[in-house]
Structure 1
Amino acid sequence: MRARIPTLATAGGAALLATGVLPANALDATVPGSAQEGSVSAADLLAKVTSCRQISNGKYKTDNGTSATVPVCDKNGAVFWKADMDIDCDGQRTTDCNETRDPWFQNDTAFHQSDGLPLKAESLPYVVVPSSGTIWNYAASGIKGGGVVAVVHGNKVEYAVVGDTGPSTIIGEASYATAKALGIDPDPTTGGAASGVTYILFKNSQASPIESHSAAVSLGDRLAKQFLQSN
C-alpha cells in the first residue's frame, strides 16, 4: 500500500478448476518451501506470455519517476504483466517487516486474513495490484483479494495471492516472502529486482483462507496446468 521507491487432483478437482476456489478447510497455512512450486515449469509458463493483448488503458510505471512502459495483458483464464519487483513489507509487524526495517511500513493490507487481521508479508507470498483507476480496474478482469498468482523469475515459479493494493499508476510489487522464495533480495529498502519478473494472475480464482500458502500452491498448480492447455 505504500508509495514505491526505485529498488532494484482430488475428487472435486473438476469443480475446483471450474470455480477457481479452494475450500477454507482444505489446507492449513504454511510458510513457503521451494521456489519451484507445483509441477508446471517457468519455461512452460513464459512460453504462453510472449505476446500481449493489452487490456489496460495505457501503461504503468515500475517506480516513481520512470516512464510508463508496462501494459496489463489478457490471456484465456488470466491476465499478466512483466515488470520489476519492489518489496512490500506491510501488514502485521514481524521481525523483518516493521517500522525499523522499512521506513514506508504500514500496519495494514488491503485484504485481510480469515480472522480479520492484516496479512504477514514476511511469511505469506502475496502480490500487490495497482489500485483501480483510469489505467485498469483489476476487479473488472476477475481479479480479487486472495486470487492466485504465478510469479516467475528466472527458472523459478512461486505461487502467491493477491494481498495488497498500491498506487494506481505503478506496477510490480510483491511481499517479502515472495521475493525471498524466488531468490530475490527481500530487504524492503535495498532489495527487489530491477526487471525480469512475470506476474500471471488467474481470473476468478481465490485461495481460501487467503493466509494459507499451501492452498495457493495447490490451486495455483491446477490453474497453471489449465492455463497451459487453454493458451
Structure 2
Amino acid sequence: MRKRLAFALAGAGLLAVSVTTGAGAATRGPAPAPKSANEGTVTAAQLLAKVQGCSQISNGKYRTDDETSATIPVCGANGAVFWKADMDIDCDGQVTSRCNGDTDPWFQDDTAFHQSDGKPLIADKLPYVVVPSTSSIWNYSQAGIKGGGVVAVIYNNKVEYAVVGDTGPTKIIGEASYATANALGIDPDPENGGTDSGVTYILFKNSSVSPIENHDKAVSVGDGLAKQFIQNN
C-alpha cells in the first residue's frame, strides 16, 4: 500500500501498479497549516503515563518498514489496545490535489472502510489510522477494533483523534492518513514524509463514530473515551 509495501513487492519480483482516477489530478496542493494545540481535554502526558509498559496481546511483533526487524508488539490495556511505532503516510482513497497517482507513486483509489455515502475516505481531509490486515500475528476485529473506531494518536506532546479507516500489510505497523500527520506537525508528503519513530497509537475497543467522516464527533467521543482510559488504567 505504501512505499514499504512497494519495496516488498519489488523484492518478490512483482510489479507495483499505481492507480490514478480521473484527469487533472496531477497538481499537488499545498498542505494546510498544521494545528498547534491538542484536541480534547486529555493531555498527551496523561495518556502516555498509562502506556509505559506493555502486556503483549499480538502473537508476534511487527516491522515498521519492510527493511526493518520485527520489534513492535500490540499491547493490551483496559478498554484499549496500543502500539508505539513510526508513521508512514497513507494517501489512499478519493482523488484530491494532494492525494493522487502523481503525488503518491503507491496511490490506490480506495480504502478498506467507506464514508456514509459509500465513497472511499478522503485522506487529506479526514484523520484516520491504518491497522495491519488480519494475520496469524494479530486479528484486530477479534480485539474489539473495527472500522470507524476511535484512535488517540500522540506525537510531540500533541493528541489527535482519528478513526480506523484503512488496512495495510500483514507484517507492518505504523501508518496514518495525510490529515493525521499534518495535524500533528509531521510532514504529510505521501512519498517522502512521515516520521521514523515517536508515535503512540491508542485504539479504543468497541468504539465507533458514525458517520465515519465526522471528525468533530471523533474528537468528542475520543475525549470521553480518553478520560475513561485514564481512570481505568
Question: TM range, normalised to the smaller chain?
Answer: 0.7 to 0.9
Equivalent residue, structure 1, for 2:135: 133
Q: Secondary structure at the match of 1:63?
A: coil
CA distance in 2, matches of 1:35, 1:129: 25
* Correspondence for 1:209 among 205, 208, 211: 211
For structure 1, list consecutive stretches of 5 or more residues without a partner in the other structure. 7-31
Letter in 2 for 1:105: F
Q: C-alpha deviations, 1:162-213, integer Å up to 9, x for none?
A: 0000000000000000000000000001100100000000000001100010
The alpha-carbon deviation at position 36 of structure 1 amounts to 0.6
The alpha-carbon deviation at position 34 of structure 1 amounts to 5.6
The alpha-carbon deviation at position 5 of structure 1 amounts to 6.1
1:87-106 alignment to 2 at 5 Å? 87-106=89-108
CA distance in 2, matches of 1:208, 1:159: 14
Equivalent residue, structure 1, for 2:73: 71
CA distance in 2, matches of 1:186, 1:65: 21
Letter in 2 for 1:194: D
Preserved contact between residue 35 and residue 181 of structure 1 (Cα < 8 Å): no
Q: C-alpha deviations, 1:65-104, integer Å up to 9, x for none?
A: 1100000000000000000000000000011000010000
CA distance in 2, matches of 1:183, 1:95: 20
Q: TM-score, normalised by structure 2?
A: 0.86
* Correspondence for 2:168 among 155, 166, 169: 166
Q: TM-score, normalised by structure 1?
A: 0.87
CA distance in 1, matches of 2:102, 2:143: 37
Q: C-alpha deviations, 1:88-135, integer Å up to 9, x for none?
A: 000000110000100000000000000000000000000000000010
Equivalent residue, structure 2, for 1:228: 230
Q: Quick one: higher RCO (CA 8 Å, sep 6+), 1 or 2?
A: 1
Equivalent residue, structure 2, for 1:145: 147
Q: C-alpha deviations, 1:125-166, integer Å up to 9, x for none?
A: 000000000100000000000000000001100000000000
For structure 2, list consecutive stretches of 5 or more residues without a partner in the other structure. 7-33
Preserved contact between residue 148 and residue 208 of structure 2 (Cα < 8 Å): yes
Equivalent residue, structure 2, for 1:199: 201
CA distance in 2, matches of 1:215, 1:52: 29
Letter in 1 for 2:4: R
* Correspondence for 1:189 among 176, 187, 191: 191
The alpha-carbon deviation at position 4 of structure 1 amounts to 2.7
CA distance in 2, matches of 1:67, 1:101: 28
Aligned residues: 206
Preserved contact between residue 3 and residue 167 of structure 1 (Cα < 8 Å): no
1:26-105 alignment to 2 at 5 Å? 35-105=37-107
Letter in 1 for 2:204: F
Equivalent residue, structure 1, for 2:14: none
Preserved contact between residue 3 and residue 191 of structure 2 (Cα < 8 Å): no
Letter in 2 for 1:160: A
The alpha-carbon deviation at position 225 of structure 1 amounts to 0.2
Root-mean-square deviation over aligned CA pairs = 1.4
Equivalent residue, structure 2, for 1:179: 181
Preserved contact between residue 148 and residue 165 of structure 2 (Cα < 8 Å): yes
